[in-house]
Structure formats: structure tokens, C-alpha cells
Amino acid sequence: AVVSNEYVVLRPRQGLDLSYLRCLSFTRYFQRTCFHSSVGVDVEKMVFKLDQWFRFATPLPPIGEQRRVAALVSAVDSLIEKTEAVSSR
């Protein structure tokens, strides 16, 4: 079913690690760029302006560094999950 025509589907180019992109999407900077590229009177009714979003610079290191960053964040996330599991017992 179609919910809205306001959703954007982006496909990564070569040289972009999706795990790195996932990490990047949690940063304040990334979230601010999305917010500042949106217009509307209410968060639920905002329209995302892709052309405006593309004007923001995105930190994109070489693919090897992206993979190292993503692996490090994943390892830290795993440690946090294990620590929370132990402390909740």
C-alpha cells in the first residue's frame, strides 16, 4: 500500500559503506541536516527537500576508514548491550 509520496529512496554509491552510513545517521550533525532540509508547520507534516539536503557536506572518509569506524562503533554497541544485560540481572 502506498502511504505517501513524500518518502525518498536513496541508493548508495560505490565507496560508501552502509554500516558507516548507519553510524553517521545517529550523529547530531546528520539529524540536523535532515531537519534543516525539511519544511512544514509540524514534524509529522514536514516535507523533506532532498536538493537542499544534498548541499550539506557529509564527512566521508576513504572506504577503509569507514569500515574501521563502523566496526569500532559496532564493538562499542556490543559491549554496551552486554554490560546492560549483566547489570539488569
* The pTM of the whole model exceeds 0.85: no
Where on the phi/psi map is residue 40: left (φ > 0), alpha (ψ -120 to 50), or beta? left
Locate 32 and state its grid cell.
540536523
Cβ atoms 12, 21 nearer than 8 A: yes
Question: Tell me: the pLDDT tens digits for 1-47?
Answer: 456 666 778 888 889 999 999 999 999 999 999 889 888 877 667 78
Q: Read off the pLDDT of each residue in 65-71 and give the average, rounded to a whole number.
A: 97
Label the pairing between strands 47-48 and 38-39. antiparallel
pLDDT-derived band at 48, boundaries 50, 70, 90: confident
pLDDT for 73 equals 96
Q: What is the pLDDT of residue 43?
A: 66
